[in-house]
Amino acid sequence: MSDESVIAGTPALIGAALIADEVKRLPDKPGVYRMIGEDAEVLYVGKARSLKKRVVQYAQGRFHTNRIGLMVSLTRSMEFITTKTDADALLLESNLIKRLKPRFNVVLRDDKSFPEILLRRNHALPQILKHRGQHTIPGDYFGPFASAWAVNRTLNTLQKAFLLRSCSDSVFDSRTRPCMLHQIRRCSAPCVDLITPEGYAELVGEAHDFLTGKSQAVRDRLSREMQTASDELEFETAARIRDRIRALASITGEQGINPETVDEADVFALHSEGGQACVQVFFFRAGQNWGNRAYFPRVDRSDEDPDILDAFLGQFYEDKPIPRLMLLSHAVPNAELLAEAFSIKAGRKAELAVPRRGEKRQLVDHALTNAREALGRRMAEGSAQAKLLAGVCEVFGLEGAPERIEVYDNSHIMGTNAVGGMIVAGPEGFQKNQYRKFNIKGTDITPGDDFGMMRQVLARRFGRLVKEEEEGETPPRPDLVLIDGGAGQLAAAREAMINLGLHDIVVAGIAKGPDRDAGREHFFIPGRAPFMLEPRDPVLYYLQRLRDEAHRFAIGSHRVRRKMDMTKNPLDEIEGVGPGRKRALLHAFGSARGVSRATVEDLLTVDGVSQALAERIHGFFRKS
């Protein structure tokens, strides 16, 4: 993307004088510039069609806002990267803003990936499943869906309509009889040949057609099949097809908005008020509404709506699939450049439009209403949140309202699959991208030793914090650490913190009262007697929510770990048994238990199993 990189700066110069000095050496080429302050903090990232002409404006001292003047005055050095085209500069700028999150840029803070539906093609009998992340598995990807809830709902309905398998290959290969999904009519059971490969391929084709916008053609075909079955007095077959048609109809019925003139588009609507902004995004694919999501980018009061939306679009599509059409509530300054960059990235034409009338305008207006309501709710919640945090400050004797609260809890069953969970909350509510889980490990902890588990979790979390601070980094430091537990848990937590030399972080325990009744919690702080809050105190409700969220997260992480252990196949632990031999062994003996009962001679009858491997497998299941 870049053909030249220059890092420069004269220590004796700062602010506008430094920028004026830099301009003398800048080329008249497109590129990206970074303004850097004290301690190498990136203040701002910008793009330019001509670096020389754009940067010189900062040196002239005529600023539209005081904010820009402040940014210039804080500048201590600059970095420049030239690019071949304006589109390259825009893409690089979006990448750097998203990665560096500069203080003076509009920043998209929510960076979650979107779930998709994957029709996996690297198997003779394709699997349908939910997918997140890179497209590394061969198959057809359909999305994005706005949330896991939206994709799960659609996936469940597709299983009813097309009866495709959702099980993994290892489960599929080990089946000897139909599973429960077949019994409730959500799978055609290709694992035990209750459907021919040709019949299953037809179902796969119908699912593909439906997800690519040919839903009406699929329903018409099923209607004809149902009528034929009814005419031939095959009423059970007709009833099954009827249920499939109802399932397809339910998808579009539950989605609410299903436009007739928009096949593939993302709709963006921005509403700003009081120095805050909300961008509501709706996703339409295959003529269907696949959900919506609200974003709250970091903005300044002086930012204009078109500029906010312009910056948001570049960062939004930095790592997401680009549709053919983007419908906007505001005309953005770099519409042509964005369209060019998106077209290059997508490998086909991408269009940005601000509709004025018709169904497309109705879609934008609907998104705008949602953006306005979402921002109103957020501002109301923010006001209430500020009062709650002020109350937390008073309860625990903090120096100020906490910006970051970390809450810890452990989960296990009789000491097995032990997991520690950390959740984070602050002025903007729960910060789920900051949640962390800790798999409890080591032989020095007695199974079920909750105190030892808590010591290990905090030693790992804050040991890393201390290490990063020693290396000159600035990791997030909590203002308050809450432990789900009483005096014993608090003592274990304090021991871990003191061993690391962390005496300035307030640590408190929250324990349920007699009979574990919510509302009678006791709070523990070093140097103070245990105390309770008034039963109807809003701060008490808030602290209960924090404790319950940590408990939920820890239990969920524990269940995932336990499920992985339960589904682990013993054959995976035998050296020399890869996916192919594992599949052959399961086909030959039905299950891992069947393999464990086989003799060496029986194992030798399986393709790919040598004398040495047969003895190794036989010995593995008979070791003491």
The DSSP result for 397-442, as a single string, is T-SS--S-EEEEEEEEETTEEEEEEEEEEETTEE-GGG-EEEE---
pLDDT of residue 58: 87
Phi-psi region of 9 (alpha: psi -120 to 50; beta: other; left: phi over 0): left
584: helix, coil or strand?
helix
Q: Is 3 helix (H, G, I), strand (E, B) or coil?
A: strand
Tally Cβ neighbours within 10 Å of residue 315.
25
Higher pLDDT, 513 or 139: 139
- Stronger pLDDT, 162 or 286, i.e. the higher one: 162
Within a 10 A sphere around the Cβ of 103, how many other Cβ atoms?
A: 17
Q: DSSP assignment of 159-207, as one string? A: HHHH----S-HHHHHH-SS--HHHHTTS---GGGTSS-HHHHHHHHHHH
Tell me the average pLDDT across 408-421.
Answer: 80
Output the pLDDT for position 414: 66
pLDDT of residue 185: 81
Over residues 100-125, the mean pLDDT reads 84
Whether the predicted pLDDT of 81 surpasses 50: yes
Q: Residue 567: what pLDDT? A: 59
Overall average pLDDT of the 518-542 stretch:
85
- Beta-carbon count within 10 A of 469 CB: 12
CB under 8 Å, gap of 24 or more: what pairs does 157-160 form?
157/247, 157/248, 157/250, 157/251, 158/117, 158/128, 158/207, 158/210, 158/211, 158/247, 158/251, 159/128, 159/186, 159/187, 160/185, 160/186, 160/243, 160/244, 160/247
Q: What is the DSSP string of 58-80?
A: HHTT--SSHHHHHHHHH--EEEE
Residue with the larger pLDDT of the pair 197 and 64: 197
Please name the residue that has the structure tokens 């329903």.
219
Residue 291: predicted pLDDT: 83
What domains are defined for the chain?
A: 2-100 (3.40.1440.10), 116-254 (no CATH), 265-376 (3.30.420.340), 405-565 (3.30.420.340), 570-620 (1.10.150.20)
Residue among 516, 298, 484 at smallest CA distance from 405: 484
Kindly report which listed range (27-31, 228-232, 420-424, 507-511) carries the lowest average pLDDT score: 228-232
pLDDT above 80: residue 504: yes
Q: What is the pLDDT of residues 223-274, one digit of tens each?
A: 777 887 777 777 777 777 777 777 666 655 544 556 667 888 999 999 998 8
Task: Give the model confidence (pLDDT) of 453-486 as tens digits.
Answer: 888 999 999 999 998 888 877 788 999 999 998 8
Give the burial string for 371-410 (b: 16+ CB within 10 Å, else e): bbebbeebeeeeeebeebbebbbebbebeebbebbbbbbb
**pLDDT of 11 above 60:** no
Q: Is the pTM of this model over 0.75?
A: no
Is pLDDT of 10 > 50? no
